[in-house]
Amino acid sequence: MKRADPPAKAVKPIELPPEVRPGQSVALLQELHILTRDGKLNQDSRRKLKQVYHLVQFIEPLIREVQQDHPQVSLVDHGAGKSYLGFILYDLFFKHLADGSRIYGIETREELVRKSEELAARLEFPGMRFLNLSVAESTESSKLPDRIDIVTALHACNTATDDAIDFALKKKAKFMVLVPCCQAEVASVLKKNKGKDLGKSALTEIWRHPLHTREFGSQVTNVLRCLQLEAHGYQVNVTELVGWEHSMKNELIVASYKDLPRKRPSERLEEVLSTLGLEEMGHRFYTKQAELS
């Protein structure tokens, strides 16, 4: 008499950490190495996920606002890297849309673009596109629409944030979400002109020492960016991305186009450049003088 096979053992379901949201793709989080194969989070992944979720918290209402105006949402993520932000945004908000909404990841490293394309295909995320371009190149690329609703740049280093702003202005973006990083250009100009500027005013003491030059240059860079955006009619809010214990590059700039008066912020921008001896940086923080109101 043939012996009966022993009953198969029940497969114990993965117990997910509370950070994973209902309906979120576990396969995606595992592919991004945020979750381990047994559904666990290590400390580094938890920190990364916290940063992305915090950004998502700011971006979600912007997506909803765009949808009130028109159904198809276009979002461009500059300096996308492994596209953590793009993939999680698509998984949470875009994957159930059948209206032609798109997320574009812009990245200069070809291998990361290729891996992101392969992952999007495996997960059946048809509304994701990845382009092997610099931020500056993407501004002129025919592979992107003439208008973009939302532009993000998370830790885009040095002038890449300014290129992302230039892209957003030329694409008439309604919203920008920026986390600047490694702002060295203004600091280098402050350093170069330090000798002739030190006698002008006691304020030059703010950047006399090299460490202060670097830190003050970083701060001034973002002040100039905010004034530039305001001079183009945007309402600008500046806040922390996450706690300082998680990242020193922690400043989050959210800009919403409101067609606000442009004259005063433009004048303020010119005054700051002049006061700090940064007139040669005017091209970087340009404004539309002809459109000032």
The Cα 155–Cα 157 span in angstroms is 6
Q: Is residue 10 part of a domain?
A: no
The predicted structure's pLDDT at residue 1: 55
Q: What is the pLDDT of residue 184?
A: 82
Structurally, the chain folds into a number of domains equal to 2
Is residue 3 included in any domain, yes or no? no
Residues 130 and 160 in one domain: yes
pLDDT of residue 140: 94
**150 in any annotated domain:** yes
Q: Tell me, yes or no, whether 170 and 195 share the same domain.
A: no
Give a yes or no: residue 8 inside a domain.
no
Which of 165, 182, 199 represents a domain boundary (last residue)?
182
Q: In terms of domains, do 118 and 214 share one?
A: no
Same domain flag for 164 and 222: no
Q: How far is CA 86 from CA 21, 60, 116, in A?
A: 16, 12, 10
Q: What is the domain extent for residue 154? A: 18-182
Written as tens digits, the pLDDT of the chain (293 aa) is 556 666 655 555 667 788 888 889 999 999 998 988 888 888 888 888 888 888 899 999 999 999 999 989 999 999 999 999 999 999 999 998 878 899 999 999 999 999 999 999 999 999 999 999 999 999 999 999 999 999 999 887 767 899 999 999 999 999 999 998 777 888 889 888 876 666 667 888 888 898 998 899 989 999 999 999 999 999 999 998 765 444 456 789 999 999 999 999 999 999 999 888 899 988 888 875 434 44
175 and 222 share one domain = no
The pLDDT value given to residue 287: 74
Q: What is the pLDDT of residue 291?
A: 47
Q: Do residues 167 and 205 share a domain?
A: no
* 136 domain residue, yes or no: yes
How far apart CA 287 and CA 293 sit, in angstroms, is 12
- The reply to whether 53 and 177 lie within a common domain is yes
261 and 131 in a single domain? The answer is: no
Is 156 a domain residue?
yes
Q: Is the domain of 163 the same as that of 60? A: yes
**Is there a single domain that holds both residue 173 and residue 210?**
no
Domain-located, residue 13: no
Same domain, 33 and 142: yes
Q: Are residues 191 and 176 in the same domain?
A: no
- Report the distance separating Cα 175 and Cα 60, nearest Å: 12
Q: Are strands 175-181 and 234-240 parallel, antiparallel or unpaired?
A: unpaired
Contact 148, 76 (CB under 8 A): yes
Question: Which residues are CB-neighbours of 185 under 8 A, at least 6 positions away?
Answer: 158, 159, 221, 281, 284
Q: CATH number of the domain that 68 lies in?
A: 3.40.50.150
Q: What is the pTM of this model?
A: 0.88
**Does 92 reside within a domain?**
yes
The pLDDT of residue 244 is 46
